[in-house]
């Protein structure tokens, strides 16, 4: 009788272990990266001209990055393929993705032709004399939602306003734009289901170059008051490709819900600090708050920060040598300071989010 009781308890333990693992909603992320070194940037009238790799090279780079990510992911089909890079010819990118995405994985491409908008991946932080693409395959048992919404183009670039209008006119223009982006952000947030149980993270991306990212965050915060949000703004000349459809002037969000552990940290560059020291302190804060090994790291920095990209990548390698890290330099960042308080947005920031599938 005692032996039967022991076997019964052992069976219950085994079942809970097996089914508990089966139902654990983990997150899987693999990243591929391709890099091509460009010739030195030409200048005209003392101004640097932008240039990019030719179409054949660009096609190969996109396919290489996607192939790497999918190979690392294995036989399981990802739930989202998120691709970022600096590029000029959007049709080349669309055709390359269509050609290699045989399994019709839902795909978002986020691209800019602005030279500062470089990316971060397993091969390093790329600079302005390099062209690079990262492909991020995301899946596992976690729940994924992703939506986008078009936004009417910004009538004037914010840096043009002072040369065109007086202060009262500028104030009126900005007030109208703020309301527009507030409302669009709320509409986007309303597309997501928030009643799925589990820890949630939300990526806010798209054409929202500063100060628009602050207006977008205000709208999001009315719908997602407690949600962890991280994001980075593309330039006003950026474009996106959603499942083969090329669009401009859009906002998009990615919400992931699962049983993972998350920490965040963000910081503003101080003029007296090097980016190496600043990145070191921000990453250390996030690692300390996580209290377990980070499996994945998302690194969104200011486009002006990539002037010291090698120093930043050295920090990533030193502190997160076995962590899958990806990210981009942006025109405005969203995140949380020291894993606490409300989400905030601004410029000249480094915003980091760490994720672990392990329990604290």
Instruction: Give yes or no: residues 160 and 271 share one domain.
Output: yes
Instruction: Give yes or no: residues 120 and 163 share one domain.
Output: no
Residue 185 lies in a domain: yes
- Classified as helix, coil or strand, 318 is helix
Centroid of chain to Cα 181: 20
The string of pLDDT tens digits covering residues 64-106 is 999 999 999 999 999 999 999 999 899 999 999 999 999 999 9
Per-residue tens of pLDDT for the chain, all 360 residues: 555 444 443 444 444 444 445 578 999 999 999 999 988 766 666 666 677 899 999 999 999 999 999 999 999 999 999 999 999 899 999 999 999 999 999 999 999 888 889 999 999 999 888 999 999 999 999 999 999 999 987 777 766 777 888 888 888 888 988 999 999 999 999 999 999 999 999 999 999 999 999 999 999 999 999 999 999 999 888 999 999 999 989 999 999 999 999 999 999 987 778 888 999 999 999 999 999 999 999 999 998 888 788 888 999 999 999 999 999 999 999 999 988 889 999 999 999 999 999 865
Instruction: Give yes or no: residues 307 and 159 share one domain.
Output: yes
Instruction: Give yes or no: residues 201 and 122 share one domain.
Output: no
Instruction: Give yes or no: residues 133 and 198 share one domain.
Output: no
Instruction: Give yes or no: residues 197 and 52 share one domain.
Output: no
Kindly report the backbone phi and psi dihedral angles of residue 237, in degrees, each rounded to the nearest multiple of 5, phi listed first.
-105, 15
Q: How far apart are CA 241 and CA 137, in angstroms?
A: 16
Q: Beta 333-335 vs 344-346: how paired, if at all? A: antiparallel
CA 201, 205, 208, 210 torsion-angle sign: positive
CA 247, 257, 133, 318 torsion-angle sign: positive
Tally of domains within the chain = 2
Q: How far apart are CA 302 and CA 281, in angstroms?
A: 16
CA 342, 347, 350, 355 torsion-angle sign: positive
Instruction: Give yes or no: residues 79 and 183 share one domain.
Output: no
How many C-beta atoms surround the C-beta of residue 341 within 10 A? 8
Please give the residue range of the domain that contains residue 155.
147-237+255-356
Instruction: Give yes or no: residues 134 and 273 share one domain.
Output: no
What share of residues in the chain are helix, strand, coil (percent, to 5)? 35, 35, 30
Whether the Cβ atoms of residue 302 and residue 330 lie closer than 8 Å to each other: yes
């Amino acid at each position: 009788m005692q032996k039967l009781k022991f076997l019964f308890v052992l069976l219950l333990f085994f079942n809970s272990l097996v089914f508990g693992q089966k139902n654990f909603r983990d997150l899987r992320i693999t990243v591929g990266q391709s890099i091509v070194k460009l010739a030195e940037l030409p200048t005209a009238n003392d101004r640097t001209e932008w240039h990019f790799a030719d179409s054949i090279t660009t096609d190969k780079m996109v396919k290489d990055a996607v192939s790497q990510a999918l190979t690392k992911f294995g036989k399981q089909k990802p739930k989202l393929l998120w691709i970022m890079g600096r590029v000029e010819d959007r049709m080349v990118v669309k055709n390359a993705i269509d050609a290699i995405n045989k399994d019709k994985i839902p795909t978002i491409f986020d691209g800019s032709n602005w030279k500062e908008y470089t990316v971060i991946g397993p091969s390093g932080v790329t600079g302005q004399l390099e062209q690079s693409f990262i492909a991020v395959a995301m899946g596992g048992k976690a729940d994924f939602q992703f939506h986008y919404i078009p936004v009417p183009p910004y009538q004037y670039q914010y840096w043009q306003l002072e040369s065109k209008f007086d202060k009262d006119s500028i104030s009126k223009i900005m007030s109208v734009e703020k309301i527009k982006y507030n409302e669009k952000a709320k509409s986007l947030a309303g597309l997501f289901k928030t009643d799925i149980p589990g820890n949630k993270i939300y990526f806010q991306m798209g054409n929202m170059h500063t100060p628009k990212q602050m207006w977008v965050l205000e709208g999001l915060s009315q719908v997602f008051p407690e949600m962890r949000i991280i994001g980075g703004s593309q330039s006003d000349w950026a474009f996106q490709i959603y499942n083969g459809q090329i669009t401009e002037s859009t906002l998009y969000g990615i919400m992931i819900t699962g049983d993972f552990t998350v920490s965040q940290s963000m910081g503003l560059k101080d003029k007296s600090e090097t980016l190496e020291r600043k990145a070191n302190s921000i990453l250390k804060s996030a690692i300390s708050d996580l209290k377990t090994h980070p499996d994945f790291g998302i690194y969104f920095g200011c486009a002006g920060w990539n002037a010291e990209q090698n120093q930043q990548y050295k920090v990533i390698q030193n502190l997160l040598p076995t962590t899958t890290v990806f990210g981009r330099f942006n025109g405005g960042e969203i995140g949380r300071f020291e894993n606490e308080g409300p989400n905030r947005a601004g410029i000249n920031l480094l915003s980091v989010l760490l994720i672990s599938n392990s329990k604290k």
